Amino acid sequence: MTRREILVAGLFGSLLRGQEVESALFGGVFEAVWIAVRDQFYDPNTRGVDWVEIKKEFGPRVSLCTSRKQLLNLLRGMLRRLHNSHIFLYSREEWDLRQNILPFSFERVGERVFIRELLQPNVAGDAPQYRFGDEILAVDRAPLGNLQPISVATLQNVEANPNFGPAASVAEVSIRRAGKTFIVKARRVTRPRGFRNVVMAEPVHGIKVMRILTLESAELPEERLRELWSSIQPSRALVIDLRNCVGGDPKVSNFIAGGLLGEHKRLFAEIPRPGSGHPESIEYSDAGVQRYRGKLAILTNTNTESQPEVLAAICKEYGCARVIGEHTAGALNGWTTAIPLPDHFARFALPYTRGVSPKGLSYEGRGIAPDEVVRNTSEDYDHGRDRVLNRAIEEFQ
């Protein structure tokens, strides 16, 4: 053999060995994910899905995957068959991108998308060039159908979604306002710590509006909660706006429930997988919280997810608030556990509990229906008005 032939043979052999190693890794990752669902998912019956048949369907496709991205997409397709929220499977790169979002929430009305609210970064910057009611035509020239809010209701396509990006990256947003089209810059901010988590307003004297980004206790520690709760006491009515509010933990909703219902009222229970060794957990409303005696409305939309849905369900079941807006996402199950994968292939987590409401109901996949369905229309956005918020204020006037 010539020197060149030896080099080519060596390179070809290295390539084959690399493919063999990758193939073995992919098979191991698939097996680890499938076994984790079988053995650790909160429902041993996998929500009525025949998990053995799922393996027969998806297993042979692993050998056809030539990249980690293809395998991730295959696995996510398999996990989506469970039709359950709080399942995470993202590469480290995807996970990092998913932490940073555009500095506004948006809403889809038919084929159109509008800016619904400007999120307020903790670090002041230049005044934004966009505003409520602007129609979004494109973000970084990506198809508008790819633009989605952050969600725990389903596994998301992170790389294709221009809502996500590197920390502090600047997006080009094409918007239309009053018939004119132009490009504005929007710097992505790390969520939630990069934003003001609660914004208070008083659009009408005596009616307070509390807009919450997430119900995470790290963003709303008890001292801050007490300060906010004290500030709303003189008002005759309170609107808690949970639209596009995603995630959290029971500490915040337990505190708010204590201020609305009084102490030691039964809230949600978390029921673990039978035989898992995890104890059942029951939450109760906090003691020592000043009762709010005014009227209350809760605003929801299809991106109200997880702990905010728990709070909305508590208020509706106890009858202490009128829920106005849209049906919530139905992303309530449950507490998650991180599961290691071979070669640190991806961040993977599964819910190991299911949530049960004070009335013994499960809202996973169903969501909470509002007492009154109200949606903003394209005409509302074109005229700069928030029909949902206005309806809640009308309720108290």
pLDDT in tens, 358-371: 999 999 999 999 99
Q: Are residues 246 and 288 in the same domain?
A: yes
> Mean pLDDT, the chain, as a whole number?
94
Does a structural domain hold residue 240?
A: yes
Verify that 75 and 124 share a domain, yes or no. no
CA distances from 171 to 94, 113, 212 (A): 17, 16, 24
Where residue 154 falls among pLDDT bands split at 50, 70, 90? very high
| Higher-confidence position of 20 and 121 | 121
| 34 within a domain of the structure (yes/no) | yes
pTM of the model: 0.93
Q: What is the CA radius of gyration of the chain?
A: 24
What is the pLDDT confidence band of residue 18, given thresholds at 50, 70 and 90?
very low
In a domain, 90, yes or no: no
Whether 293 has a pLDDT exceeding 50, the answer reads yes
Residue 350 included in any domain? yes
Residue 315 in any domain: the answer is: yes
- Find residue 210's DSSP bridge partners: 200, 240
Residues 346, 208, single domain; the answer is yes
Model pLDDT for residues 208-241, shown as the tens digit of each residue: 999 999 999 999 999 999 999 999 999 999 999 9
Instruction: Please tell me whether residues 109 and 36 are part of one structural domain.
Output: no
Domain of residue 292, CATH code:
3.90.226.10
**Per-residue confidence (pLDDT) for residue 257, from 0 to 100:** 98
Residues 111 and 20 in one domain: no
Q: Tell me which residue of 140, 75, 145 sits closest to 106, measured CA to CA.
A: 145
Quick one: 157 and 11 in the same domain?
no
Tell me which residue range forms the domain holding 322: 198-396
Closest of 102, 120, 104 to residue 170, by C-alpha: 102
- The dihedral built from the CA positions of residue 102, 104, 110 and 111, taken in this order, carries a sign that is negative
Residue 222 lies in a domain: yes
pLDDT one-digit tens code per residue, 232-265: 999 999 999 999 999 999 999 999 999 999 999 9
Q: What is the pLDDT of residue 4?
A: 58
pLDDT score of 159 more than 90: yes
Lowest mean pLDDT among 19-28, 51-60, 159-168, 194-203: 19-28
Q: Above 80 in pLDDT, residue 81?
A: yes
Residues 283, 267: contact at Cβ < 8 Å? yes
- Look at residue 127 in the predicted model and tell me its pLDDT: 81
Q: Which of 190, 209, 226 is the last residue of a domain?
A: 190
- Asked whether residue 368 is domain-assigned, the answer is yes
CATH, residue 114: 2.30.42.10
Residues 127 and 186 in one domain: yes
Q: Looking at residue 281, what is its pLDDT?
A: 95
Q: What is the pLDDT of residues 101-123, one digit of tens each?
A: 999 999 999 999 999 999 998 87
How confident is the model over 139-152, as a mean pLDDT? 95
CA distances from 128 to 105, 111, 112, 131, 386 (A): 14, 25, 21, 7, 19
Look at the chain and report how many structural domains it folds into. Answer: 3
Q: Which of 369, 360, 364, 250 is nearest to 298 (CA)?
A: 369
Check whether residue 267 and residue 287 sit in a common domain. Answer: yes
* Residue where a domain stops, chosen among 36, 60, 83: 83
pLDDT over 80 at 390, yes or no = yes
At 11, is the pLDDT very low, low, confident or very high (cuts 50, 70, 90)?
very low
Domain identity same for 133 and 40: no
Together in a domain, 128 and 155 = yes
Q: How far apart are CA 68 and CA 87, in angstroms?
A: 19
pLDDT above 70: percentage of residues in the chain: 94
Please list, residue by residue across 178-197, b when 16 or more beta carbons sit within 10 angstroms of its beta carbon and e when fewer do.
eeeeeeeebbbbebbebbeb
Same domain, 223 and 285: yes
Lowest-pLDDT range, 57-61, 234-238, 278-282, 307-311?
278-282
Question: 278 and 352 in contact (C-beta within 8 Å)?
Answer: yes
In the block, tokens 């309530």 appear at 332
What was the pLDDT predicted at 373? 98
Distance CA 215, CA 257 (A): 13
Q: Among 83, 114, 136, where does a domain finish?
A: 83
In a domain, 89, yes or no: no
pLDDT at residue 13, as a whole number: 40
One domain for residues 28 and 145: no
Per mean pLDDT, which range of 18-27, 88-97, 237-246, 365-374 is the poorest? 18-27
